[in-house]
Structure 1
């Protein structure tokens, strides 16, 4: 490639965006419809993330869905993490990449697919024919013949390969088939004899033509598909490397600007970096591309599934930043560059920029704390393990369980240090914890559930009438007392009652069960809760009058006031979700809920706190919908039809083929089995009372609706009136009055701090009489009774200045079970190898504590004041000995 002949035979240079557009337009001119990239969150439940361009067409290839067009072309964003350890270390491994594809749904097959791929490669991208090599599946004589006879590729440049390389599958099951790949040869001068396509220093595979002929089932059986299909993939990053004449994908215009941003933050120039630094920069460049697209498609960091993949990628990028010397948060700044590079092809990354940056900021700050704790412990572990040794599994598990340090990260760091991790020991520790958890759960009383399980065969499904009736006659089918079946229960007895039919709503979908009464023939049972075991409703309550007997005919009457409150809160929850999706982020989804009689609670996947302005806007929108009096439309329909209409599913709910849809046209449509108002005007009012974080990436909104709003406001009004009486101010004057008092308190605190500092200085001057001379140094070790940490710091700084070349160690016990220690050493003391951080940390251990800091100034603490005198004496002894040494 360095000769003048080779240089003149190189293809023209194209930018990444030009390559993408050229590919799509080439196939559009040949009857292919350009379709948008599918989300990284696939509809296919067999894969975690979108791994290939064909995934959105899998139902078509399987014959489950009819294709809307016979031919299509896409630029598909993809995520694969199976080779994550190779990212940054090889020229072309990535977690995120773009797959340019052309697809035929039973329209054309091998001949056209091969001919067009060759035309695009040689005539449009102008790749020299003598630089191209193709591979075919070992048994695919048809493809071999097409390449040889119709395209004219020399036989020596058509390589037959085995199933591992040339038989494509979308996953463990699904559409698959033989494939043919096109490779670019960086060194054609080496000739055609004994071509080894595994030699990635010479060859790069850039175009894969999959001849989709079969479906593979769970037993790995191959069944011919109803139609022969074409699925191709051209790697955008790989073609960019070829056309831009770069040594690897990372130095193309698709990724290199991200790397340059990271390098600038680290104070590095990429071309002057060593190999390890370049690997870290490449990892950051790759992973940041991945995470901006994952978050843009609605994925939030968690410890499960695709959320864990996101978290792992963010943490790997952060750690590689640390390896480059970046101590401060930096991922957001790098992400800005990645967003700018991607927004023209994928506008949603710009639209979701706030969510992307918010999620990254949250995850990075959390992980930096984890790194600080985990890396210190891991460093201690590695120091105890010789090179080539193994970190114990229980220690790796402690890092994971106590400090949130991922096993993969422990393995990665250990490998860098020439150690391994006992994975079997880790898994054993994990299983031991699970066993302990299971044992803890076994102590729960399951007597009621056990009895129901035993009797379930003799019980028929409870007929639920609650959507239309608030009362109905019912027969007692089963009575339980203390979890055991009984024939009768008298007044004062806690019972569980199973009826043949009921108007009572059983707790599900976040909505609590109805309350009310069962009554008849001088029998009254107060129902306090209703739970559902499969299709059986269990009424929990207390017999208040008479004796209830199995077989009794009773009247089941719900507490209508409670039901109406629950209906108001449940419908308000639907409106709240609609407002969040409309005003904040359409990718927000429910992660849990509670619909009670007096309040509602709604958990969402969102990485940051909602601002007061956003909460006010959401509340206003919900109340607007309430005032507009939208009528509920309730229908039962096939789940496929409901989803096609855009109905939102409730988190954690399982649905059958038929679903109940609650639709307030133009506002909200959800799959829901709960009870609701018939018109939004019945809700009355809606008020948000709190917004908090409950877990990583999960926010909780608490609110009240209907009559509960008045109750909430009455309580607030009472508090305001009491504050007004106490501060002698009108309600509207309270903020100003409280602010004034706050400022007065701050001023008083400042005066107190100044006085304490002056007192500390005065005390420090009195300590000068205790200064001793040790060789060429001044030494002061003393106690300052009652001084807090700030006072000790002030005194130590003052004394250190007055002593010059020397060492100051001060201690105090400002409260029971609390010890403060501080050390200030001059640079000349440091030159003798004595560092304040290490020294005072060791002394603090004598008081049951620890600490550390800089070589010249450090603080520590302890819990045993009785040992303070001994600790100071030991400090003085050690310093005297070390300072006197020549």
Structure 2
């Protein structure tokens, strides 16, 4: 092959890499989801994340060699996206992995071969780095590969020693850089110079284990973990100035530019940054939603929402005012579908989620504009000439309002923005983000992890047995392993086998007792940690010791309730799909002993008729007595049969399928009734929205129905007794009382206004003439804010040209102040809104309004006389 680099497309680069390693004994594996199996990692942030259990020795690899193109999301440097050549939130990492098979010599040889022979890089354009203490890697590069020593750079641990966490597997790494300017020679090579060098391939030699003291010991199995950045390779091979102008991203940028009516290449740098952000982020959100992440205010859902909002903001900055993301997303889907077919399969869900989030955020931006107007008004009232950095950052962070837009609007009002203060607030957020940045934590620290070497995984018997004889494997008190524990102690107990179901899949854990010779422990909750079932309880009698033989007995009544409610959630989901929308999917659930909760994705509220139909359908299925068919199947076979997966659950190669033929089929590890008739009856209590695009149904079923009805019956009886009517007459009686109450309230308001006016008439005796204007400043006792306003307007009508300022303490600890100014007073430069806001600050409050009429409040009633005195003094000075 030619030594000159080929001009390859992104898809060609990906395929060449995978084919190269497949031809060398590597199994090509599909990209894992952006939602990792590891609960300690928020998002898949590196190619090695799916293989973490193998590197830890927790899972035996199916293949000794593997190669992948892994989609990744990182947001720790989100502010640099679009501003540098190579920062991204979404990127693809090409990788080859060895699990205890080949090591440094082979990894380096293949790294050089694919770079020079497959991608056609000239050796003159390549520089490598090694860990400063790794003589072995240095010698391989120099003596076997033939790289000149001057082009092998030794670097410190910060750059060339890779670790998964503070402790655990780690090792030196070697990186391959592309040199855009080899003509500058080998003297003073600075790999930090990104105008000359770009690192495109990282070879990690995972050969050590680091303990808590920092000591390194050789691993029994030495592993290889590599990463080649697809976007960086595309930049080099397509000979473009940055990653964004490659065929992986640039078509997305062009689509956004066309919508905005601009040309990327002729745009200024600020506009280019916004277009790059849109290109990067749209790619990210398309893949996140395709992997069933939905926007929310927590976790990965918040990451998705934040990225969508950044797209909207940058769209505004380049002149796009309406909705546009779904149009840009279509380009991203088209670019990705050949490598990732799920993006096209999930096209409808992707576009629906994007449209909903964009529409809602555009409304939020409108609220931000209104808040900015209020901030500008307050700044002018205070006589300042700038908007504080804190206020500008609040607009940016809370309302998604771009700093540039704040500056533009401020300039129109002859104001500036404290950009330095804004940057201080931004830096604080960056530090918070870095502190919370997701890491790949492989530290083995908990007591259970330490005990794992000596005890076996808990065998769960609870599907078929309500009680079992078991051996005490471990006892923990406050998380610390103990050999024994006495009566009165709260404990965590691990048994070798148990009938107790541990909290999982939304279903809470079983309750019950563990007993033995003179021992009684009340089990109050159940948790599952790795493969261990943890019995959380209280020792009521005796002393429990590791090794004791005990009887574990669940509370059967509680289990029956949980089974009924759990099966009811399956029937509920099936009814929602049948009656509302087949595309509805679970977004969370809770199955407890007294009720059930089911969250589902739906862009609108259900109608009362739909709720009734759903309830009737579930009860019909219950009455039809559908028998459960429970079996364990290979995951692929279960999905082929149409089994529905539970939200947020990760599945192994084999799965448990709960099938009520013709009604519902789901993958589920929970406990269920053997026949729907055992549920008895089902009742929906409420249906409401809990987040954007997410609805929640709460319901009860089975024995819990009786508790629910007893509570409601007691309330109805109590109301009937109080109102002296029959239960069926309650609605009419309550409606009648509401009508009477509204009438009385209107009469009371009228009386209050009349009383305030009567009180205010006496204030005409205090009238003061200042120049050509009349002035009344006074306090009225026990007058509510609305009546105080009426009184001020009435007095101003009577005096004509002048100003009226009234204050009152309508209730303890609250102050109300009203200012009413005539047009002539306004011409003197006085505005009621600004004036009353400044006066109210004396009472610890604030307010505002129109130039002629404004109202304010305060918290310190003792300061009202001082505030009114200040008002009178200021008005005399201004009007004289």
TM-score normalised over the length of structure 2 = 0.60
Q: Please show how residues 392-541 of structure 1 align to structure 2 within 5 Å.
A: 417=422, 419=424, 468=464, 508-509=503-504, 510-511=507-508, 513=510, 531=525
Query: What residue is the counterpart of 1:351 in the other structure?
Result: 349
Which digits, 9 at most, give the CA deviation of each residue in 1:333-381, with x for residues without a partner?
35445434434333335423334455667789899999979x98xx99x
Q: Is the 8 A contact 2:604 2:693 kept in 1?
A: no
Query: What residue is the counterpart of 1:80 in the other structure?
Result: 74
SS in 2 for 1:352: helix
Quickly say closer, same or farther: Cα 1:802–1:278, change in 2 above 3 A.
Answer: farther
Query: What residue is the counterpart of 2:856 in the other structure?
Result: 860
State which drifts further: 110-119 or 414-423.
414-423
TM-fit CA distance, 1:320: 7.9
TM-fit CA distance, 1:244: 10
Quickly say closer, same or farther: Cα 1:116–1:539, change in 2 above 3 A.
Answer: closer
Q: Does 1:878 align with 2:874?
A: yes
SS in 1 for 2:658: strand
Query: In structure 2, what is the Cα distance between the partners aligned to 1:161 and 1:218?
Result: 25
Q: Does 1:844 align with 2:840?
A: yes
Query: What residue is the counterpart of 2:814 in the other structure?
Result: 818
Query: In structure 2, what is the Cα distance between the partners aligned to 1:574 and 1:271?
Result: 54
Q: Does 1:233 align with 2:230?
A: yes
Quickly say closer, same or farther: Cα 1:609–1:747, change in 2 above 3 A.
Answer: farther
Query: In structure 1, what is the Cα distance between the partners aligned to 2:303 and 2:742?
Result: 46
TM-fit CA distance, 1:811: 3.4
Q: Is the 8 A contact 2:286 2:332 kept in 1?
A: no
TM-fit CA distance, 1:879: 2.1
TM-fit CA distance, 1:233: 1.6
Which digits, 9 at most, give the CA deviation of each residue in 1:47-85, with x for residues without a partner?
54334567668899999655799987x6x6532234333
Q: Does 1:595 align with 2:592?
A: yes
Q: Does 1:677 align with 2:673?
A: yes
Query: What residue is the counterpart of 1:3 in the other structure?
Result: none
Q: Does 1:663 align with 2:658?
A: yes
Query: What residue is the counterpart of 2:329 in the other structure?
Result: 339
Which digits, 9 at most, give the CA deviation of each residue in 1:805-857, with x for residues without a partner?
86553434444443322345678867877554553233223434333457776
Q: Does 1:136 align with 2:124?
A: no
Which digits, 9 at most, give the CA deviation of each residue in 1:854-886, with x for residues without a partner?
7776432124556545433321211222343xx
Query: In structure 2, what is the Cα distance between the partners aligned to 1:502 and 1:213?
Result: 41
Q: Is the 8 A contact 1:414 1:421 kept in 2?
A: no
Query: In structure 1, what is the Cα distance between the partners aligned to 2:468 and 2:159?
Result: 67
Quickly say closer, same or farther: Cα 1:586–1:670, change in 2 above 3 A.
Answer: same
State which drifts further: 871-880 or 839-848.
839-848
State which drifts further: 105-114 or 683-692.
105-114
Query: In structure 1, what is the Cα distance between the partners aligned to 2:817 and 2:62?
Result: 76
Quickly say closer, same or farther: Cα 1:302–1:340, change in 2 above 3 A.
Answer: closer
**Aligned length in residues:** 767
Query: In structure 1, what is the Cα distance between the partners aligned to 2:689 and 2:863?
Result: 42
Which digits, 9 at most, give the CA deviation of each residue in 1:691-744, with x for residues without a partner?
45779998754211124446646876898999999999998x999999999899
Quickly say closer, same or farther: Cα 1:85–1:25, change in 2 above 3 A.
Answer: closer
Query: In structure 2, what is the Cα distance between the partners aligned to 1:536 and 1:790?
Result: 61
Query: What residue is the counterpart of 2:90 in the other structure?
Result: 96
SS in 1 for 2:34: coil
Q: Is the 8 A contact 1:260 1:270 kept in 2?
A: no
TM-fit CA distance, 1:789: 4.0
Query: In structure 2, what is the Cα distance between the partners aligned to 1:637 and 1:659?
Result: 5
TM-fit CA distance, 1:40: 2.3
Query: In structure 1, what is the Cα distance between the partners aligned to 2:677 and 2:644?
Result: 22
Query: In structure 2, what is the Cα distance between the partners aligned to 1:554 and 1:92?
Result: 61
SS in 2 for 1:42: coil
Q: Is the 8 A contact 1:244 1:252 kept in 2?
A: no
Query: In structure 2, what is the Cα distance between the partners aligned to 1:46 and 1:502?
Result: 27
Q: Does 1:705 align with 2:695?
A: no
SS in 2 for 1:859: strand
TM-fit CA distance, 1:648: 5.9
TM-fit CA distance, 1:116: 3.8
Which of 286, 290, 297 aligns to 2:291? It is 297
Quickly say closer, same or farther: Cα 1:236–1:213, change in 2 above 3 A.
Answer: closer
State which drifts further: 77-86 or 786-795.
786-795
Which of 561, 566, 576 aligns to 2:562? It is 566
Query: In structure 2, what is the Cα distance between the partners aligned to 1:536 and 1:58?
Result: 24
Quickly say closer, same or farther: Cα 1:416–1:142, change in 2 above 3 A.
Answer: farther
Q: Is the 8 A contact 2:510 2:555 kept in 1?
A: no
SS in 2 for 1:255: helix
SS in 2 for 1:333: coil
Q: Is the 8 A contact 1:296 1:356 kept in 2?
A: no
SS in 2 for 1:78: strand
Query: In structure 1, what is the Cα distance between the partners aligned to 2:779 and 2:714?
Result: 52
Query: In structure 2, what is the Cα distance between the partners aligned to 1:840 and 1:273?
Result: 48
Query: In structure 2, what is the Cα distance between the partners aligned to 1:787 and 1:325?
Result: 52
Query: What residue is the counterpart of 2:478 in the other structure?
Result: none
Quickly say closer, same or farther: Cα 1:572–1:177, change in 2 above 3 A.
Answer: same
SS in 1 for 2:805: strand
TM-fit CA distance, 1:302: 7.0
Unmatched runs of 5 consecutive residues or more in structure 2: 1-5, 130-136, 211-215, 337-342, 401-416, 437-455, 473-483
Quickly say closer, same or farther: Cα 1:504–1:292, change in 2 above 3 A.
Answer: closer
Quickly say closer, same or farther: Cα 1:506–1:115, change in 2 above 3 A.
Answer: closer
Q: Does 1:611 align with 2:613?
A: no
State which drifts further: 42-51 or 760-769.
760-769
Quickly say closer, same or farther: Cα 1:311–1:560, change in 2 above 3 A.
Answer: closer
Quickly say closer, same or farther: Cα 1:89–1:485, change in 2 above 3 A.
Answer: closer
TM-fit CA distance, 1:254: 1.9
SS in 1 for 2:119: helix
Query: In structure 2, what is the Cα distance between the partners aligned to 1:226 and 1:484?
Result: 43
Q: Is the 8 A contact 1:841 1:852 kept in 2?
A: yes
Quickly say closer, same or farther: Cα 1:610–1:507, change in 2 above 3 A.
Answer: farther
Q: Is the 8 A contact 1:114 1:209 kept in 2?
A: no
Query: What residue is the counterpart of 2:35 in the other structure?
Result: 41
Query: In structure 2, what is the Cα distance between the partners aligned to 1:764 and 1:837?
Result: 21
Which digits, 9 at most, give the CA deviation of each residue in 1:480-539, with x for residues without a partner?
xxx99679xxxxxx999x99999985885544655799999xx9x999975569879688
Query: What residue is the counterpart of 1:446 in the other structure?
Result: none
Query: What residue is the counterpart of 2:119 in the other structure?
Result: 117
Q: Is the 8 A contact 1:757 1:791 kept in 2?
A: yes
Quickly say closer, same or farther: Cα 1:288–1:849, change in 2 above 3 A.
Answer: farther
Query: In structure 1, what is the Cα distance between the partners aligned to 2:419 and 2:37?
Result: 38
Quickly say closer, same or farther: Cα 1:776–1:321, change in 2 above 3 A.
Answer: farther
Which digits, 9 at most, give the CA deviation of each residue in 1:767-814, with x for residues without a partner?
888775545666554556665444555676788899998655343444
RMSD between aligned residues = 7.7
Query: In structure 1, what is the Cα distance between the partners aligned to 2:864 and 2:93?
Result: 70
